[in-house]
Structure 1
Amino acid sequence: MPVSRRKYNALAADYERIREQRDEAQRTVRAMQTATRTAAGQFTAADDTLNRVRLARLADAIRYTRRIARLVRIVARLRGEVAAADRRAARVQAAYDNAVGLDNPSLDHGATWQSRREDKPRTAVAS
């Protein structure tokens, strides 16, 4: 079946137009694939960075927890040592008071006399 020249030229033009659309679609697909690969790479890198940051924070938290536990133990030991030193100082003070006679009950009776004695120096009151 013979085809007229006009019909042939119309079919050839349609063929060329469809071929250009196909080529344009292929270029668009390649560009989208490239953009997708680039975005996937960026998201992967960001996810890796985020995971590293999370792991680093977790490791820091574990280290800080260990440090805090160690410091709590040290503070407890030091508080015990301070309490023991206070007890020793109190015993030494009591022994000194006994040695010089400061624990004599008659001294307690004189304490009230000291506050109301007549020869106590008075401060001048400004009028």
Structure 2
Amino acid sequence: MKKDIEKQNAISGYRKMVLFVMFDMPTETHEDLEKYRKFRSKLIELGFIMFQYSIYIRFCRSLVIAEKYENKVELSAPLNGSIRIMKITEAQYKNMKVIENYREKPEKKVEEQTQTLMVF
């Protein structure tokens, strides 16, 4: 019984999907900004979270559910701009390599800021 559960858990990592939505939209006019905000709000409403700027992800239990959300994003897509949707398995997502080679950590930079007071 325990081996069956372990086997099922091992397989499920390949059945669960991560849906990436990457987009680039114009924001030059008020109308463009409104379309951008509406699309971004729809992604959040659908359960997506910001992964990086203009890249949102949603974890799905299966390929069928991922495709359901893929269709919902497509229906919500404004006419202008570029939107890409990519599906990968949860197992592939877990194998992602993250490299954060900042010369200086942003937190450290904030600590080092000082105020200058000028008195005349």
Shorter-chain TM-score tier: under 0.3
Structure with a larger share of its residues in strand: 2
Q: Indicate the structure whose relative CO is greater, using CA pairs within 8 Å and at least 6 residues apart.
A: 2
